Amino acid sequence: MTRRRPRPLALVTAVVLVLITAPGIAWGLWSHQTQLTTAATAGVVQSPTNLECDTERGLLGLLAPYVHLSWQAPIDTDAAHYRVLISDGTNTDVLATTAETSTDITVGLLSDGVIGWLGSVLGIGGQADITIETAHPSGWSSAPVGPQTIRLSLTGVECA
């Protein structure tokens, strides 16, 4: 008695058929078409409004003028504090940080710390722009409001 060997052609055909159809069947079982929609919103930190610049005079209204800046707090925003920014047109830096809605800018404030570059860049009669931004407790900041231009004079700082 002789044993019959399976035909190689039938075996190859069966393997090819399984390899071709199995991925299609699996894809049909595993794939599912569903449309997913989402919405995202971004919070906005409101800017302060009505930035005003007033030149205040020192002794007898003659000496050491300084600038008093004031603004209104934004509505519906919890401000952690406000940043007073100063720019000479090229560089911008934080001049002061305050929880109040006003601040004074004096010659001493302009010459302290990182703002020392301003005095050397501006010199007497030089100008800089002041803007204010709201800093939210989350770390986000508003767009700056302003600018108000200030000028260094022989005796102090004045609104331009």
Q: What are 66-81's pLDDT values in tens digits?
A: 889 999 998 877 778 9
Give CATH superfamily name and number for 49-159: Immunoglobulins (2.60.40.10)
Q: What are 45-61's pLDDT values in tens digits?
A: 889 999 999 988 866 66
Residue-level pLDDT at 123: 53
Q: Which residue has the higher pLDDT, 138 or 51?
A: 51
Q: Is the pTM of this model over 0.85?
A: no
Mean pLDDT (whole number) for 109-133: 63
Residue-level pLDDT at 124: 52
Q: First-to-last CA distance in the chain?
A: 116
Residue-level pLDDT at 72: 93
Determine the distance from the C-alpha atom of residue 2 to the mean position of all C-alpha atoms in its chain, rounded to a whole number. 86
For the chain, which residues make up each domain, given as ranges?
49-159
92-122 core/surface letters (b: 16 or more CB in 10 A; e: else): eeebbeeeeeebebbbebbeeeebeebeeeb
